Amino acid sequence: MSFLGDLFHSLQELLAFGLERFYDLIPSFGINIIMLTLTINFILFPLTLRQTRSTRAFQEIQPEIKRIQKEYKDDPETMQKELMRTQREAGATPGGCLLPILVQSPIWFALFRVLRNISWTANGQLEQFNTEPLLHAGTALRAAVERNDIDFLGMHLGTNMSEGITAGGWGALPYISMLVLMVASQYFQQWHAQRGQTKKSDLTQQQRQQQQTQQLITRGLPLFIGFVSWNFPAGLVLYWATSNLFRVGQQFALFAIDGRPTPPSSGPPDGGSPKNPDDGDGDNGSSAKGSKPHPVSQKKQRRRRK
């Protein structure tokens, strides 16, 4: 096994250990999944906050980026320097957007593997998939899983959603409710993030097309995830629904801390006057650079005065 493979396996064992310890506190596998999911999201909150602010900063400086690209289109070197300076002053560093995703993704995949392994253990499928149990022998959770005692809210968390729903009768209702909750919470999170961010009268044709694409993603992605989850164990869907609900609450908190992102504007940044086309791109553009205050710098100065 490679170094990365060993590291990923160690991460799975750490998550399994967390489930075992939570089970010692509260002997309910469903509550353990919720507790572990919340713990992971709380630990990752600082990275999520950084990612959100970096993404917002990129959105806010788009008019300034377009102005720089137009003003220095014949001077690529100066354009690159100005773009880097604008991003740095706004806090829109590429690492701020990408690093949290790179950190979170292995954790999500590892937890997926742990919950799937527990499902196989409960259903006696470990030999079928030629794998070993991640839960440690002698722990209370391992004993409960081997007894197939992992029910929660009327669901057997090791049963695939498709099997639970197609079984029919009242027993299918908890599985249907969990799937609906997961899809609805995913949709609400995306809808809430975009609400009030677009005013069609202020958008260019390109921005209207981008808005339509975002709306399609908002409506289609939750349904796609629900379709994919059809063959997932109920425990995984519980994890996913819990994560969605946490992110909804997290989103409300972020908006309370930083405010809602301002709607995109097709005009010049900070309400400045459009550049006169008759001014040309030669020396006038160079003098404009020296006289025109940087919008991001102005914003930081206003914050300092407050």
* Euclidean distance between CA atoms 84 and 212, whole angstroms: 30
Domain ranges of the chain: 1-152, 153-263
**Is the confidence at residue 42, as pLDDT, over 50?**
yes
Q: What is the 3-state secondary structure (H, E, C) of 257-289?
A: HHCCCCCCCCCCHHHCCCCCHHHCCCHHHHHHH
* Percentage, residues of the chain above pLDDT 90: 24
pLDDT tens per residue, range 196-247: 555 555 555 665 666 566 666 666 777 777 788 888 889 889 998 998 899 8
Tell me the chain's radius of gyration from C-alpha atoms: 25
- Smallest Cα–Cα separation from 136: which of 239, 218, 34, 13? 13
Do 15 and 36 touch, CB atoms closer than 8 A?
Answer: yes
**Is the confidence at residue 276, as pLDDT, over 60?**
no
**pLDDT at residue 47, rounded to an integer:** 79
Q: Say if pTM beats, i.e. exceeds, 0.75.
A: no
pLDDT tens per residue, range 133-149: 999 999 999 999 999 89
pLDDT tens per residue, range 250-270: 888 888 877 766 655 544 444
More confident residue, 32 or 123: 32
Name residue, tokens 């250990």: 17
**pLDDT at residue 255, rounded to an integer:** 81
Torsion of CA 197, 201, 203, 206, to 10 degrees: 120
pLDDT tens per residue, range 52-108: 777 777 777 878 888 888 888 888 888 888 888 887 777 766 555 566 667 778 888
**pLDDT at residue 35, rounded to an integer:** 95
Name residue, tokens 């459009």: 274
